[in-house]
Structures are given as C-alpha cells and as structure tokens.
Amino acid sequence: MNRKQIAVCAIVIVTMGYLYLQPVKGLVKSKEVAAKPATTAVDANAKPTAELTEASVSALAKQSLDAEQLKQVEALEGQLQSATFAAKPSVQRSLAALWDANVQPAPAAFYYQEIARQTNAFDDWVNTGNRFNEATKRSQDANEQIALSAKASEAFLNATKLKPADLEAKTGLGVAYVNGGGMPMQGIALLLEVVKLDPKNHSALLNLGMFAMKSGQYDKAVGRFKTMIAIKEELEPYFYLAESYKQLGQKQEAIAAYEKCKQLIGDPAESSRIDEFIKELKK
C-alpha cells in the first residue's frame, strides 16, 4: 500500500474520533432539509475566533516532517522570500504541491489562497477551498475549524462567481457552510441540490453521509455510503458504513464492512486498528 493510502486510512480513523464528539449544530435529526437555494453570505455567528496564518499552520505541520522533507520545505520558503513579485506564484505552487505530497492540507491551502488572490482563476479558488475543507476535517480544535471553514467559504464563493453552475464548487461551499457551524441547513441544501443534479457525485454523497452521522441519522448515512460503494468500492465509505451499522446495533453488517476495509487497506500493520473494532463487536 502506498503512503497516500496509509495517510487516508489514518485520517479517516482520526476524523471518526472527532465526528462523535462534535455534532454539527443546527442539523435536523428527523429528516434532511428539502433542497432550496442557499444564501451566499457567511453567517455572522460563524465568524472565526482563531487567527490562523500560513506561518502558524506551517510551523505546526513541520513537526510531522522528516529531516529531508523539512529541508525541501525550508529551501522553497527561502526562495519565496527572495523571489520577485512575478516569480512568487511559481514558488508558491511548488510549496503547495510539496505540502500536498506530505498530506498537509492547511499550509497548502494558504499558498493556494495567495495564488488565487493574484490570478482570480476558478481552479485556484477550488484548490484553495478543497484544501481548507480538508484541513477543517482533520482539525481537532473547534475555533480552528470555524476559521478554516470561513476561508473555505470565501474561496468557494469566489469560485461560484466565476462558474455558478459548477458542482464541485457548490459541493465545497456546502461542506464549508456545514462545518463552519453557522449555516448547516443551507450547506445541506446545496449538497442535496448537487446530488439531485448528479446522483453519483462522490464528494456530495460522502459529506451527506458524514453529516447524517453527526446528526444521529445513521439509517440515512447507511443509504449514502451504500450508494457510494455500489458505484466504486473505496476505503472511506466502507469505514463510515461500518461505523453507521455499529451505531444502529447491526453488528454482523458492521463486521462485514470492517472486513472489507481490511481488504482495501491491504497492509497488516494498518489493519490492526480495524481488528480492534471487530473484536469489540464480537464480545
């Protein structure tokens, strides 16, 4: 199994720990909201309370790098400091790509943001928003999540101004609205709109399933993840499917989904955590 697959597995498991501790405020538990147009203004109650900068998130991310990786990052940072204005975007792209390669979305997001502010290009805004959403998902700090989600919302709002009908931008904006804490229903409405237009949309289905879990709607979550698996068998939806079955008390179904996770991971060391979950269910 390659490094990125291992990282995805680790992120999924870490995310699940946060998932049950922090339900999304404002989500309806009895049913999903009917699709309706979402407002394009960030809710005042969802303003970030944590001040994040490229320097602060990079300093934290550097702690996970080995000596060679750190050397590469710091070399590019040195180039950026001495680069002319015209040369900066190229160095920033190299830094963003390097942080991406090391599975560190937060610093990558800040570099993509700087690029997007210069180019105002759709793809750059989407890259920015996607990284900020991923950083939100990985964060364990509520204030930081609000700050990161606000930046994701800004990026996707700029992207939707350039391409109002683009489904990736709509999905990203919906996720950011829900994660930001102030506009969950508008976010869900956007995701449902995307699924209505594209019933096989991977990102919208995944996030609708995750948000259903956060609001205790595990039966709805099962439906979302089963739809994803029918399209393509992947680790992440299988893991969330297993967790949803577990919460519903359907132990055999949960065990079967966990076993499928082990097959998809394909690495004994990385499968050991899944074995612990299965052991608990067999007690």
| pLDDT tens-digit readout, 234-261 | 999 999 999 999 999 999 999 999 999 9
| pLDDT tens-digit readout, 212-240 | 998 999 999 999 999 999 999 999 999 99
Could you tell me which residue, 39 or 140, shows the higher pLDDT? Answer: 140
Q: What percent of the chain has pLDDT over 70?
A: 82
Question: Residue for token digits 């992440």?
Answer: 236
| pLDDT tens-digit readout, 193-209 | 999 999 999 999 999 99
Answer for the pair 190, 177: CB distance below 8 angstroms, yes or no. Answer: yes
- CATH superfamily name and code, 50-173: Tetratricopeptide repeat domain (1.25.40.10)
d(CA 4, CA 102): 9
With a cut of 90, say whether residue 2 has pLDDT above it.
no
d(CA 264, CA 69): 28
| pLDDT tens-digit readout, 82-128 | 999 999 999 999 999 999 999 999 999 999 999 999 999 999 999 99
Q: Provide, for the chain, the percentages of residues in helix, strand and coil under a 3-state DSSP scheme, each rounded to the nearest 5.
A: 75, 0, 25
Residue 273 has what pLDDT? Answer: 85
Residue 58 has what pLDDT? Answer: 96
What rounded mean pLDDT belongs to the chain? 86
Residue 34 has what pLDDT? Answer: 41
Q: What is the DSSP string of 170-201?
A: HHHHHHHHHHHSS-HHHHHHHHHHHHHH-TT-
Residue 266 has what pLDDT? Answer: 78
**Taking the CB of residue 279, how many other CB atoms lie within 10 A of it?**
10
| pLDDT tens-digit readout, 50-63 | 578 999 999 999 99
